[in-house]
Each structure stands twice: as C-alpha cells, then as structure tokens.
Amino acid sequence: MTTPEPPQRAIVGFHQDDEGHWVAALECGHTQHVRHDPPLVDRPWVLTAAGRAARLGARLACRRCLEEAAEPRAGA
Ligand SMILES: [Zn+2]
C-alpha cells in the first residue's frame, strides 16, 4: 500500500491572514498558507504582487481534500 498523494488544486487567488501571512485560495474552496520562511520554506515570489500574479493557476497539493475524502462526513 502506498500513501495517497494529495490532489493538485489550482490557485485562484491570494489573501493575507490576521498575522500578515499569505494564504492561497484554491479552486476546491480550501486555502493553504504559502509562507516565505527561509530556510525551511523558500517562496520569495509570494512577497511581491507580480510574483503572486505569476502563480495564479499554478497547482498546490491540497491536503485538506485528501483528509475530507478519507473521513466520511460525521452526522450528516
Ligand atoms: Zn482542497
């Protein structure tokens, strides 16, 4: 058995959270932080409007989708 890979979802927009961290909005309705936090996470592009615009339509692995697919909705 292999671990399932999270599905790739296109970025449809960006916003900042309360602490000023950038968050990507994905086509599936989920969001994902896209911090620039070197040396762990090196995403200098997220700090500029041009860099973010260039990433619209790029795909990120959405772990939330994988989690929701794995867990049947409780109570419904
Ligand atoms: Zn998702």
Domains of the chain by residue range:
8-59
Which residue intervals of 1-76 are DSSP H helices?
49-55, 63-70
User: In CATH, which of 3.30.499, 2.40.50, 1.10.3470, 1.10.3230 is domain 8-59?
Assistant: 2.40.50
Percentage of the chain beyond pLDDT 70 is: 93
Residues by chain with Cβ below 5 Å of ion ligand 1: 28, 30, 62, 64-65
The CA 28 to ligand 1 mean position distance, Å, reads: 5
36 C-alpha to ligand 1 centroid (Å): 21
Identify which of 47, 68, 63, 73 has the alpha carbon closest to the alpha carbon of residue 9.
63
Confidence of residue 35 (pLDDT cuts 50, 70, 90): confident
Longest Cα–Cα distance in the chain:
44
Residue 76 has pLDDT above 60, yes or no: no
